[in-house]
Amino acid sequence: MKPRCPPALIDSFGRHIVYLRVSVTDRCDLRCNYCIPKGFKNFEEPANWLSHDEMARLINLFAQLGVRKVRLTGGEPLTRRGVAELAGRITAIRGIQDLSLSTNGTMLARHAAALKTAGVQRLNVSLDSLDAVRFKEIAGRDCLRDVLAGLEEARRVGFSPIKLNCVVHADTPEAELTRLLGYTLANGFTLRLIETMPMGSAAQKFQPANLSFMGEKIAARFGLVPALDTGDGGPARYWSAGDMPALGVITPMSRHFCASCNRVRLTADGTLYLCLGHEQQVPLGRLMRQGANDDLLTQHILAGIAAKPEHHHFNSTPRRIVRLMSQTGG
């Protein structure tokens, strides 16, 4: 008898969906000028957030269908209580091989040890500037010192790799990026430069930079060499220092990677989004609270994956998506 093949989520374009990004809240303690508009208050009501039990139930269904990687995101996930406890539950789910977390780092020093103990394996930390004045202009708060303390604590408790995510637009000073890369090399981190995407009114005010060109330029300045493709379906292209990836670029605008997209997103209220650049969604949270059993939820997940779009249309219709990145999940 042939061994039973593991389940797989495969969309209509042959892409294997193995990665689920789960937003535990759409709220954030920062107001980055490319993400949340000043004065924005239209956040999801906490009563509509999935409970940890509900999140674990849905993640388990995705794992049964072949999802192997989960990332906890927001908003800022550490603003919600019990994230470490949720992480522990996720790592116990059969089939989940990789659990990571994205954070702005403001509360990381307080939670790093508990997250590590719970089984979070990797961290992505947003860091757009090492200049305190510029950091405050971007983030809306004077808390660069808190973020740097969080990074130090995360390294102390053993997180590796730690990736720093820097959102770049056409007006971002190149000197800012070279300073960030010097910092990451000195501390053993990995810097990832990310082109802005026109999601919501805040992001649509910024013209994206072409990081395909800028990444090569900065890498050459530091003597970095192109890294081999890891084959994990991730969106970043890397340059290395020795055997360590030091600089990556994520280029959804200048050189999109939709053909290899292996991920979907679950919002805080349980809405499944198939693509950042489209509105297709599956209301798994609402269905669950209406009494849907696991078989019915699985059918809706499979139908959603089958309808996953081939690619985004950010370049041709840049004002198409009005929802914020924080509402979808980073």
| Residue from 238, 237, 321 nearest 279 by CA | 321
| Rounded CA separation 285/208 (Å) | 34
Give the pLDDT confidence of 308-318 residue by residue, as tens digits: 999 887 776 76
| Rounded CA separation 157/84 (Å) | 15
Tell me how far CA of residue 205 lies from CA of 91, 174, 200, in angstroms: 39, 19, 9
Q: Which amino acid is at 92?
A: A
| Rounded CA separation 20/68 (Å) | 8
pTM: 0.94
Domain boundaries, the chain: 19-160+256-328
By residue count, the chain amounts to 330
Place of tokens 């007006």: 171
71 beta partners:
21, 100
Q: Supply the CATH classification number for the domain 19-160+256-328.
A: 3.20.20.70
pLDDT score, position 6: 52
Place of tokens 């508009």: 37
pLDDT score, position 233: 63
CA quadruple 320, 322, 327, 330: dihedral positive or negative? positive
pLDDT score, position 232: 61
Residue numbers in the chain where pLDDT is lower than 50 = 1-4
pLDDT score, position 86: 98
